[in-house]
Chain A
C-alpha cells in the first residue's frame, strides 16, 4: 500500500472566539442546531479525536449533518487552519507524510488543491484563461511551464469549450469546473472539495463526478465534504460519517451502499441511490382534503380558475436578444406545489423572475385569479423567495420584518388592520413558522434556515397567494431539507400556490404535487408527481 497522502492522527481543533466578528459565535451555535442555508460556513464546528487516512488514488467522502465538523477537517488539510482561523489544535495532521507545522504555506498550496462551495466567490479574474493560470502566476511558475500546465489541464478536464470566456457568463457548474481547473494547474497531489455541488444541477454534478474520476485515475488523493451523496457513487472509495465533531464510522463504499435506506435517513444522511427515493405517500383522499381547504380559503374566486395562469409568455434580455422564455403556457392551483425543473439555460430562472414581476415580458400575459396583471402589479403579489434570503430582510428585528410585510400589504390594498389585530397576526405568524423564540433578534443574526423561514413568512403575511421559491434546499442536509418541506406543506394548507425551482429530486419527492419540465423556454411537459410517474420524473431531473 502506498504512503498516505493525508493522515489525521487523533487530530482535533476548536475555534478561538472570533474577534471582529461579533455574530460569529451565536451564528455557529445556531447553525449547528438549526442548520444554515449552507451558503457560507463561518460558524464551523470543532472536531476532536479524528483518525483518518486518505491514500493516493483514493476518494474519501466526509458526510454528516450540518455542523458536524466536515468543513473544519477540510480546513485542517488545506492549511486555512491555522493560516486564517485561530484556535487550539491537538494531535497531528500530515500531508504527504509531513506534519502541518513543517509545511510552508506556499508549498502546501501547491500540494493541496482546494475547491469551495460557492462558485461565485473563488474567482480573481474576469476571464477563464487568466483564472486557470492565476495560481501558477502567484507561485512564480515560469511562463513556458505555465502554458504547458494550463494546456494539459484543459485537455485532461476536457474544458476547451470554457476557455477564453467571461466567467460571469458561465453557469454555476461551469464555474465550478473552472475552479477545479485553476487548482489542477497548480499540480497538487491532494484535492480537497468542500460541498462543491451546493449550487449545481444534476448534469453539472455528473460532470464533476467524471472529473473526480479522472483525477483519481491520475493518482490524486481526494477528500470531499458533502451532503448530497448520490453523485459520488462510482467514484467514492470510502464514506466517513461524522457527528458532533467526531468520526462515527468509516465504511468502504460497498458496505455503505448495503446499508438500508431507513438507517441512512436515521443518521440524517441524504440518499445514496436516487432509485430508492420515492414521492411522499399522498393518497387521493389526503389531496382532496387539501383542495377542499383551499376552496374554503379562496371562496371569493371562481373555483374553475387556476390561481396562476401564464399565457403565451415571452421574455428576452435586451430588445434584440434571443427569447429565453417563449410561448410559455403554465398554470398552477392554489394549495399545490409545482416543481419547475429543467436543464441549465432552459429559462427557469427567467420565468420565475417574470412571474415575480422582476423581469418584464415582451409578449403574453400572467393572470392571477383570472385577472391579467402587468409586471409592476405582480411584484409583491407573486412573492419570490430568493436563494440568498439575506437580501430580502430589511428590518432590525424578526417581528419588525413581519410588520414591514403588513405595511406593504396595507399600502397595496389601501386598508389598514387595527393595531391589536396586526400585533396578534405577527405573533401568530412567527409561531407558525417556528420563529417565536427569535422575535427580537436581528434577521441577519439568524441562521440561514431561520432567515429563509422569515423571508417566506414575510411573503405569506404580505398576502402573496403565489410563491416562487428559487432552489430553497441548495446545500442543505436532510434535517434542514425536511424542515423546508414541512414549511411548504404549511403554506399549501394556507392555500398558497407554490412554484419551486429545484434540482433536488429528494426534496421534490418530499413535497411537490406536480412536475413542470422546462426546455427551450417553455413548459415541455407537465404531470402529477406520483409513484406512477416516478420513472419519467427521474428522467426529467436528469437521472437515468
Chain B
C-alpha cells in the first residue's frame, strides 16, 4: 500500500468527499438499492440525506458517494493480478491506470486519483531517466521501478476498493458464493482490525516521542531488537484487550449463531459495473493476446 492507503487507514482523516457529493450520492445509492423492494428503508435514507444537506458543515467520515459492486471489484482485482507481469505495452498500461483513475473519480475520490496518477507519472519518468545513464546501480534501480509499475494498478485499484466497499456488501457477495460463515466473519473482522492496528502503532510511536524514547534510523540499525520490543509489547498488550472485548461483543451479537446468515444489502450489477468489467476485460484480453502472439512467434 502507498502513503495514500496508509493515510486512509489512519482513521483520523476527514473524508475527502464534500458534503453535497456525499449526501446525494449516499442517498441515491440507498434509494436505488432499496426502493424497489422495501418502502421503509428509503425513509431512513431520505432522512439521512435531508439532515446532511441541511447542515452546511462537511460531514466527517461520510461514505463514498458511489462504488462498484464488490463482486466486480474482486473480479477486476483478480484480472489485474493475472496480467500484472505479462509483457506490458506502454499504451495498455496507460489505459489501465486511466481506467483505475476513472473508477476513483466516479467513486467521488478525485483527489486520491490525482495523487496516484502523479506517483505513476513520477515512477515512469524516473524509470526512463535512469536508462539514460546506464550503470549497474541505475539498472537495478530501474528493475525495482519496473516491478513497481507492474503492480501499480493493483495497489491503486485495491486502495480505492478498500476505501469504498462496505464490509456488509462484501459479506453479502461472499455469502452468495457460499463461503463458510466463519471465513466471512474472519474477513470482516480482519478488515476492521487493520485500521485499528495502524492506529495502535501510531499511538505507540507517539508515546515513544512523549517519553523521549528514541526512534530513528540509527536505532533501527544498531538496536533492532530493542526497537521491536518497544513497538510490539505495548501494541500486543493493547490488541489482546481489544480482542477480548471484541470477542464479548461478537458473542452477544450472534456471531456464532448456527442460523443461516442473511444480508441487509441487495447486490445488483448496474451499468457502471458492466462497463468497468468490460473495459478492464478488453485491456486484459489485449495484453493476453500480445503474450499469446509472443509465444506463437
Contact = CB atoms under 8 A, between A and B. Distances in A.
Contacts of A123: 192, 249
Contact of B261 (A110, A140, A164): A140
Given A106-B258, A140-B259, A166-B15, A392 B207 contact: yes
Contacts of A379: 209-210, 212
B248 A80 contact: yes
Given A84-B247, A125-B168, A147-B40, A165 B62 contact: yes
Contact of A317 (B13, B30, B206): B13
A444 B237 CA distance: 8
A121 B245 contact: yes
A394 B206 contact: no
Nearest to B237: A444
Interface stretch (A46-54, A148-156, A275-283): A148-156
Contacts, number: 255
A212 to B, nearest CB: 18
Interface in B217-271: 229-230, 233-234, 237-238, 241-242, 244-266
A130 B70 CA distance: 14
B256 A122 contact: no
A224 B118 CA distance: 54
A138 B207 contact: no
A136 B264 CA distance: 8
Contacts of B197: none
A129 B264 contact: yes
Contacts of A170: 60-61
A412 interface: yes
A408 B188 contact: no
A112 B252 CA distance: 8
Given A79-B251, A125-B192, A408 B211 contact: yes
Given A137-B171, A142-B262, A121 B242 contact: yes
Interface stretch (B43-51, B130-138, B152-160, B289-297): B43-51
B260 A444 contact: no
A124 B255 CA distance: 10
Interface in A24-42: 39-40, 42
Interface residues of A, number: 87
Given A151-B44, A165-B61, A143 B210 contact: no
A186 B253 CA distance: 9
A274 interface: no
Given A147-B40, A321-B14, A163 B168 contact: no
Interface in A439-453: 444
Interface centre among B37, B195, B233 (most CB of A within 10 A): B233
B207 A164 contact: no
A423 interface: no
Given A133-B168, A164-B48, A83 B251 contact: yes
A40 B241 contact: yes
B245 A122 contact: yes
Chain B's interface: helix, strand, loop or mixed, by majority?
helix
Q: Select the residue from B209, B229, B237, B254 with max chain A CB neighbours within 10 A.
A: B254
A386 B168 contact: no
A66 interface: no
Interface residues of B, number: 80
B111 to A, nearest CB: 9
Contacts of B192: 123-126
Contacts of A408: 211-213
A394 B206 CA distance: 13
A291 interface: no
Contacts of A318: 13-14
A125 B44 contact: no
Given A80-B251, A141-B262, A109 B257 contact: yes
A390 B212 CA distance: 16
B167 interface: yes
A273 B264 CA distance: 43
A139 B257 contact: yes
A124 B211 contact: no
Contact of A384 (B11, B41, B210): B210
B212 A412 contact: yes
A136 B262 contact: yes
A120 B197 CA distance: 12
Contact of B167 (A121, A127, A164, A458): A127
B80 interface: no
A499 to B, nearest CB: 14
A390 B234 contact: yes
Contacts of A384: 210
A121 B249 contact: yes
B238 A390 contact: yes
A408 B30 CA distance: 54
**Taking each of B52, B169, B234, B252, which has the highest tally of chain A beta carbons within 10 Å of its own beta carbon?**
B252
A411 interface: yes
Contact of A42 (B41, B189, B191, B244): B244
A118 B245 contact: yes
A387 to B, nearest CB: 10
Interface string A412-434: 10000000000000000000000
Contact of B15 (A110, A112, A139, A169): A169
A183 B185 CA distance: 18
Given A125-B188, A146-B264, A147-B34, A458 B48 contact: no
A228 interface: no
Nearest to B248: A80
Contacts of B246: 121-122, 124
Nearest to A40: B241
B297 to A, nearest CB: 48
Contacts of B238: 388, 390-391
Contacts of B264: 129-130, 133, 136-137, 143, 146-147, 150
A164 B253 CA distance: 21
Nearest to B42: A151
A294 interface: no
Given A121-B241, A127-B167, 20 more contacts: A114-B249, A121-B246, A123-B249, A124-B189, A125-B166, A125-B168, A126-B167, A130-B167, A134-B168, A138-B254, A143-B263, A155-B44, A164-B26, A164-B30, A165-B59, A169-B11, A186-B253, A317-B14, A392-B211, A394-B208
Interface of B: 11-15, 26-27, 30, 34, 37-38, 40-41, 43-45, 47-48, 50-52, 59-63, 166-169, 171, 185, 188-189, 191-192, 195-196, 203-204, 206-214, 229-230, 233-234, 237-238, 241-242, 244-266
Leading 4 A-B pairs by shortest Cβ distance? A169-B61, A408-B212, A130-B168, A166-B61
10 contacts: A120-B242, A140-B259, A148-B41, A151-B40, A155-B44, A164-B30, A182-B253, A391-B206, A392-B207, A404-B211
